[in-house]
Structures are given as structure tokens and as C-alpha cells.
Amino acid sequence: MKAMKNRVALVTGGGSGIGRAISLVFAREGAKVAVVDMNEAGGKETVSMIEKLNEEAFFIKADVSKGKEVEAMIKKIIDKFGKLDYAANNAGIEGDQGSIIDQTEENWDKVISIDLKGVWLCMKYELPHMLKNNYGAIVNTASVAGLAGFAGISPYCASKHGVVGLTRTVALEYAKTGIRINAVCPGVIKTPMIDRFTHGDPEAEKGMMAMEPVGRLGKPEEIAEAVVWLCSDSASFVTGFPMAVDGGFMAA
């Protein structure tokens, strides 16, 4: 039996990597899925994969750092499906690497706008529709870089620490409404983002693997399972929680 049948889920950054995996797991559980991304080809490919599972999905191109686009995105979902039950606010970028004195203001602004402001905007426009039904669950994608520092990526770390704090705060604001808000904090996951970090260098990837106590990179599907569980009624007493899904990284 599909536990999320007749539910509606939104996934930002759904065109690849973790976002695609989240979209597919929501669909597997029977939810209708709105796949959001700036990458139109990737987003439509995710929709096609969901349709092959005989589930319903559609694509929306939107920049989550722009309030008007986020507001329009939510309106399209409500117009099509009539409601919004779950949101995985997953869209994000890593930005440029370098020490703080080598970082540019432009890179800081871009990373913070997408990775942190984007999550804030999504929740701002998602919550009113969940409140209408006194039901909903939101999972924001943070990172282990939101729980610990990593040299060379200060804008990314700042944004992800911000996502954790924002998640905890908004969870408290709506704790009595029937809406739960959590964050997932992935470790080093085999995604296009990690490929950009390593520049396709096998030795660099081995270095990434060495960071993980379990001795391997995580899979996008492993993060997706955690996100969908946090949205499910099985996690009904869980809110305000930044869940590390990190192969033991934060335990080391």
C-alpha cells in the first residue's frame, strides 16, 4: 500500500542528484510530485522517470532566490493539484572554493541567495497552504557543513548553518499547527556537486571517501529515504531536527 497516495509533494532542485532521488521516492510512495529546477531538461527527465512509475508529476522552472518566482511556483502547484502536503526544499549550489580573503562578494551573494534565502522564501509561500489543512511536512536540505566547519567554502557553510537555524526556528513557530519542519544534513554524497568538487579526479574522490567513517560515498537514494521518512506520518513526533545522514562523519 502506498502510504502517500493522494498527497502532493514539492521538490526543489529535482532535476538531478538528491532532488531527483527524493522526487522518485515520493512517487514510489504514491505522492503527486511537482519537480522544480532551473535545469529544464533535467527536471523534465525526472518527470518522465516518475511517469514511468505510473505516478503523476509535472515540471516547474523557477529560481528559488526570487520571491515572485517562488510565489508563482506555489500557485501553479495549487492550481494543478489543489493543495500542498510535503515540501523538500532541496535546491542549492556549492559556489566557488577558496579562503575568505579570496572569496568574492558576488559568490557570497549567489550562494546565500539560493541556499539560504531560497529556503526561507519557499517556506514563506508553502506554509500558508499547509495551514489551510492543518497538515504538512517540510524538509530543508542542509549539510554536515551546516553542523561543522569546512575550510575553503565559507559561503556554503554559512548558508547551511543558516538553514539549520532557520529550520529549528520555524519548526517552533508552527509546532502546534500540525505542520512539522525538519532538515536533512547529508554527508559526502555521490552527486554532480561532488563531481564538480573533485573535477572528475579519481584521487580526489578517494580523498572524499576517506572523510567518511563507513569508507564510501553516500548515495542520493539514501538521503531521499530519510527525507521522505521525515515527511511521513511515521515521523509524526519529529520536528525541528537537523538529521545527519552522513556515514558517521559527525560521530568521528
Which of 86, 83, 88, 81 lies closest to 57 in space, CA to CA? Answer: 81
Grid-cell match 560521530, residue found: 251
156 is catalytic: yes
Of the listed 86, 125, 156, 174, which one is catalytic? 156
Burial class (CB in 10 A: 0-12, 13-18, 19+), 56: middle
DSSP state of 76: H
Single-letter amino acid, residue 211:
M
d(CA 105, CA 3): 45
Strands ordered across the beta sheet of 57-61: 57-61, 32-37, 8-12, 86-89, 136-141, 179-186, 242-245
Radius of gyration of the chain (CA): 17
Contacts 24+ apart (CB under 8 A), 96-100: 97/152, 97/153, 97/197, 98/152, 99/151, 99/152, 99/154, 100/154
DSSP state of 173: H
Q: Which residues are catalytic?
A: 156
